[in-house]
Structure 1
């Protein structure tokens, strides 16, 4: 083959960076609305969590940069520096915020989440709410319940007419 001849385009398979249209289910109506509101509630909870703990951590932030977090004590009471670090910057609030924005964008674009996302979030949040209280896990459980219900509504077959 010479330099001037063009090669036929090769298929990239399933790793082309695009999801196939068969993998994406549309989400409409009440399921879409519930998903949007669940995502908004998750976003608000994450923002409140981060601002609350970062506001309380103003006395400990200096210790984060001086190496106080490197030598973790093996037993006993953890210093306040650790508590504020693991309750704010190192908590699940930032990853949950990112997940909530992805959920919101999916719903705004009319795309349903894979139902396993809703179920895993629900199991984790209910377990955490039962074990560790008082926290924001009950709010997370409510949001995940909304997402599970929306996933259920999305998986219902379309009706041809009449009341739903």
Structure 2
């Protein structure tokens, strides 16, 4: 379950970022992004280039990729990810769902549920993350 959650989170972040760059055509503004013209842009009245930047590279897509890859990395090492990852992403997902109902938020919600169930099962099997025992000598 943890592996599925990690893949879903990673793919969601990648799909969001790549979709924004290609389908939404945000990449056409890269010249503006790297020219420094966004430095003085008004966030309250975003230019199309600034809006495209926040939709793609500055969105939560890239951090979701990182979180998903960390979950996969932990799973490969037999370490259950801490539940706060799923709870935090779950709360963020629900807020996003309330704000924008017609988005693919159910995918992230499924990933969060899988992550919570997987972490709970790992804890039940007494195999959560290894803990350092400072009283034990090697």
Contact 2:86 2:112 in 1 (8 A): yes
Distance 1:74 1:38 in 2: 34
- Cα-to-partner distance string for 1:52-89 (whole Å, 9 max, x where unaligned): 1112123211111223311222644x221111100111
The answer for the alignment partner of 1:50 in structure 2 is 17
Structure 2 CA distance for aligned equivalents of residues 133 and 106 of structure 1: 32
CA contact (8 A) 1:36 1:103 kept: yes
RMSD of Structure 2 on Structure 1 (CA): 1.9
Is 2:13–2:64's contact at 8 Å kept on the other side of the alignment? yes
What's the counterpart of residue 42 of structure 2?
Answer: 73
Q: Which residue of 2 aligns with 1:36?
A: 3
> Any idea what the Cα deviations from partners look like across 1:30-56, whole Å, max 9, x if unmatched?
xxxx10011111111122111111121
Do structure 1's residue 129 and structure 2's residue 100 form an aligned pair? no
- Does residue 64 of the first structure (1) align with residue 33 of the second (2)? yes
Per-residue CA deviation, residues 101-120 of structure 1 (Å, 9 max, x unaligned), is 11001112211111222212
Instruction: Give the ranges of 4+ consecutive aligned residues of structure 1 lying more than 6 Å apart after TM superposition.
Output: none
Q: Which moved more, 1:79-88 or 1:119-128?
A: 119-128
**TM-score normalised to the size of structure 2?**
0.79
What's the counterpart of residue 147 of structure 1?
115
Contact kept? 2:6, 2:68, Cα under 8 Å: yes
Q: How has the CA–CA distance of structure 1 residues 75 and 40 changed in structure 2, closer, same or farther, with 3 Å as cutoff?
A: closer
1-structure distance, mates of 2:95, 2:44 = 26
Residues 2, 115 of structure 2: 8 Å contact kept: yes
CA contact (8 A) 2:12 2:64 kept: no
Unaligned runs of 5+ in 2: 127-138
